[in-house]
Structure 1
Amino acid sequence: MKGGTFSAVEHIFPKSQKFLTGRFNRLVQGRLWLQVLIGMVLGIGTGLLINPDTGFVSKPVANGIGEWLALPGNLFLAFIQMIVVPLILASITRGIAAATDVRQLKSTGVGLAFYFVGSTIVAAALGVVIGLTLTPGNYVDRAVAPAAELAGPVAELAAEGEARAAKPFSLVDLPTGITELLPTNPLNSIVSGDMLQIVIFSIVLGVGLLSVPPQSSKPLFELLGSVQEICMAIVATVMMFAPVAVFGLLAQAMIKTGPGVLTGLAAYAAVVVFGMAVLLVFYLVTALVLGGRNPLEMLRSIREPFLLGFSTNSSAATMPVTVKTAEEVLKVRPSLSQFIVPLGATMNMGGTALYQALATIFMAQLYQIDLSMGMLLVLIATTVGASIGTPAVPGVGIVVLASVLSSVGVPLSGLALIVGLDRILERFRTSLNVTGDLVACVVMDRLVPAKVSRESEIRSAAEREHIQETRNEDVVINSRGGH
């Protein structure tokens, strides 16, 4: 060590996540996204055919069939949710070690904080503006709104979200709230799935590992690397069943929703997809203005992770492909991509923020609730806060939306109306979240100063990767000072 607390950052180099993409090549080459789309169409058709309103089967029989059809999908969601916490913890901790120097690490952290919060605010504001302008809630028969009742897992998730928003905000309690962000018991945070505390713990752990001699930190870095590889092996295996999972989940949703309500909600879905398209344009303009990237070239470059995000419905599961695209296609410095992508998977949720804000406006219009300018500002603030730190897994959108609805006094019973469509729309917002992470990479790559040039860093990274491959080593020590 050279005497500085963080001097080890120049001497220890864990292997990049992009080496884990080999397991996903078969999925990408097999056009998993197309298989998922086919599963969605078949699931919707099957569900509408079995729906009790068609008269082919009775309601109890239809619900029973729906439960069995949804079983593969529920197992799929459980497996994805199971691996996210260890994957995020390992990825962020190892990503910190990729920084080339302390100044870059600090500059990236500060710049990311402003970028994540700023872009999420813009996304939430876009959701509010689009919702107020296109008024999707006026296209649904309001007679079905009061009759909608929450039941089963949806009711449990909604209750969890409502509990998050139950405590009113107070400046007096703000210092206590800031203190509570720190995980005094990391194991408890991991068990409870408190993603924001897990992210903070991962950052602290990563910085701590860089504060000790490389020989001391190497075993833990290698252990976390094994955790990453195991998690990705599980994801790659589970993703082979994604089309079947999507088919079953959508079939069950359509059995419970029915064709009458679905017809009225089509306008809402169209408005959400339009909002996602507007957000995509905003991201491409940001990449042009702040990142100096041609929008059309940017769109072509991110095609693979964009479609994989749509297929996996989890930005965390897409991380290796996202990192590989950032480094090899967009030519972003490895020290930035390996740090930004894992953080962005849990803290850069622009697509989620837009969706939560727009859905809340839709619900308010459905129940004929007028939201004042003050409540709209509260809505944007709550949406931003709820989106940051949300687990990057399918199905948690209901929890976030329930907390946002509760904060502005909109009834939660309307969630039963959109839970079926949410299975489809959350895939669009996942793709937008992945896009936001890649845009963050190109923006930070241009704006964050570094001790070494981009060309020199990329060349050094390539040399280390060659050593890691030939020696079959996960972590390289002292590679900078001579091999």
Structure 2
Amino acid sequence: MTEPKRIRTRGLRKKLESWIRGRLWAQVITALVLGAGLGFLIGPDTGLVSAEAADLAGRWLALPGGLFLNLIQMVLMPLVAASIVLGLAAGASDPEKLRRLGGRLALFITGTTLFAAALGATLALWVRPGLSVITNPMPLPRLRPDPASLTDPLTEAAARAPDLIARIVPSNPLGAAANSEMLAIVVFSIFVGLAFVASSNQARLAPLKQLFEAMLEVSMTVVKWAMHITPLAVFGLTAQLVARMGVSAISTLAAYVGLVLGGLALLLMLYVVLVMVLGRMGPVTFLKAIFPVQLLAFSTSSSAAVMPLSMETARNRLGTPGDTASFIIPLAATMNMAGTALYQAIAVIFVAQVAGVQLSLPEVSLIVLSLVAASIGAPGAPGVSIAILSGMLASFGIPAAGLVFVIGVDRLLDMSRTVVNVTGDLAACRILSRNQEETETGG
């Protein structure tokens, strides 16, 4: 290579390094590609490394990812509490505005989650992905008699409702925080914030407000430290995922994986259309604005982990007022789990099909309604959906023989549905802030 060509190549390399260094999303994409490549090399598809060595290497590679997630989780409770309290306190001058915003957010979450669960059930009943992996030609018996022959499911659900509603209000907020019960902390923070709004002496509450502001500042500082290791975390987590699963494991469940990804894509399109129609923002502009958040969500599989970046994106790229973003994002990250509801609806029916269990239409309807309730308030952390799914199978007496297939590819699908969940959070920010703006201006 001649000297001029060498100089040009060196200059292009420096420009590329400088460009990547200044863009977190570019670093994450690079880490994803490199991690996937390394995971493939040490995974079961190549046979270059023994399974034991690959597992050990994967554990060490995932260490930065564990540190990243633990740093976020360490400050997540004070971050959520401070954000909600300050967001509500900012509305003390206009309680009516706060009431409208909360009501519209509840309507948005309930409507989209119900649609997602119904869509997932419909797709699973139509495509029937469980038939492609049936290992036992004879149907397995239900684990308990058909619920319809015992008690009306709707009556049973109505009998449980009072206890479930009462448990929403935490009797011990400190204990809830110690047990990482996010929904309890959200409810506690809402009550504290509403007390700010209802107080007739705002001056006396100033010191407490300053305390929450200090909590938020400290939490965000720790989050900024955590963001420095994001590329390493993404690289290690991706390498571990591919090394454990292998490409061949995904191909054997192509119908199930493809159906879930297709359903999530439809739900993502719904959010984009809602933002275009109700939020008055073009699809390309919206997707470009939220792409860094989606990328981090895909890498970490945690809505909670991207919460700080979501709030920053809502404020700076989607035109959401700061107090509105501080109110919506923590609530949505905890309760807005439409992607999870869609996935679980498909997974429950998939496992039932693998076991040869025929679900009646009333049972499918009850599954959809149950998933809406279970998904709203589910912790935004990796692996939570499997726990909810196991409970759902037990509730309907469905043998868990097919659950092994679901667990095998859960990490990949967890990453994908988290992208859809955070997209819904940011869509809610854009739509509700725009709607609020039109209400105030009379437009």
TM superposition score normalised by structure 2: 0.79
How far, CA to CA, are the matches of 1:416 and 1:229 in structure 2?
A: 43
CA offsets, 1:340-384, max 9 Å, x none?
122111111112221222222222223332222122112211211
Deviates more, 1:86-95 or 1:259-268: 259-268
Deviates more, 1:446-455 or 1:435-444: 446-455
Deviation, 1:103, is 0.5
Determine helix, strand or coil for the equivalent of 1:336.
helix
Pair 1:192-2:179 in alignment? yes
Aligned to 2:162, which of 168, 175, 193? 175
Q: How does 1:382-397 map onto structure 2 within 5 Å?
A: 382-397=370-385
Deviation, 1:94, is 1.4
Aligned to 1:34, which of 29, 36, 40? 29
CA offsets, 1:213-234, max 9 Å, x none?
3333233333223333333333
Deviation, 1:399, is 2.1
Q: Is the 8 A contact 2:354 2:401 kept in 1?
A: no
2:12 matched to which residue of 1? none
Q: Is the 8 A contact 1:104 1:449 kept in 2?
A: no
Pair 1:338-2:333 in alignment? no
CA offsets, 1:157-186, max 9 Å, x none?
xxxxxxxxxxx9443343233222211211
Deviation, 1:422, is 2.5
How far, CA to CA, are the matches of 1:27 and 1:360 in structure 2?
A: 43
2:274 matched to which residue of 1? 286
CA offsets, 1:38-89, max 9 Å, x none?
25513540442xx3x8665655555444444444444444333333222222
CA change 1:385–1:28 in 2 (3 A) is: farther
Pair 1:405-2:393 in alignment? yes
Aligned to 1:122, which of 92, 115, 118? 115
Deviation, 1:448, is 4.2
CA offsets, 1:452-480, max 9 Å, x none?
5499xxxxxxxxxxxxxxxxxxxxxxxxx
Determine helix, strand or coil for the equivalent of 1:302.
helix
Q: Is the 8 A contact 2:41 2:48 kept in 1?
A: no
Pair 1:139-2:132 in alignment? yes
Alignment-mate amino acid for residue 131 of structure 1: A
Alignment-mate amino acid for residue 283 of structure 1: Y
Aligned to 2:261, which of 265, 273, 284? 273
Q: How many equivalent residue pairs?
A: 406
CA change 1:336–1:383 in 2 (3 A) is: same
Alignment-mate amino acid for residue 184 of structure 1: S
Q: Is the 8 A contact 1:36 1:311 kept in 2?
A: no
Alignment-mate amino acid for residue 251 of structure 2: T
Alignment-mate amino acid for residue 127 of structure 1: G
Aligned to 1:89, which of 78, 81, 100? 81
Deviation, 1:26, is 6.7
Alignment-mate amino acid for residue 330 of structure 1: L
2:226 matched to which residue of 1? 238
CA change 1:407–1:103 in 2 (3 A) is: same
Deviates more, 1:172-181 or 1:385-394: 172-181
Determine helix, strand or coil for the equivalent of 2:253.
helix
Aligned to 2:213, which of 212, 225, 246? 225
Deviation, 1:128, is 1.4
Q: How does 1:2-151 map onto structure 2 within 5 Å?
A: 28-29=23-24, 31-48=26-43, 51=44, 60-99=52-91, 101-140=94-133, 142=135
Q: Is the 8 A contact 2:131 2:353 kept in 1?
A: yes
Alignment-mate amino acid for residue 189 of structure 1: A
1:458 matched to which residue of 2? none
Deviates more, 1:282-291 or 1:404-413: 404-413
Deviation, 1:339, is 1.5
Question: Which segments of 5 or more consecutive residues in structure 2 lack a partner in the other structure?
Answer: 1-19, 140-154
Alignment-mate amino acid for residue 230 of structure 1: V
How far, CA to CA, are the matches of 1:454 and 1:44 in structure 2?
A: 55
Q: Is the 8 A contact 1:141 1:264 kept in 2?
A: no
Q: Is the 8 A contact 2:86 2:323 kept in 1?
A: no
CA change 1:116–1:263 in 2 (3 A) is: same
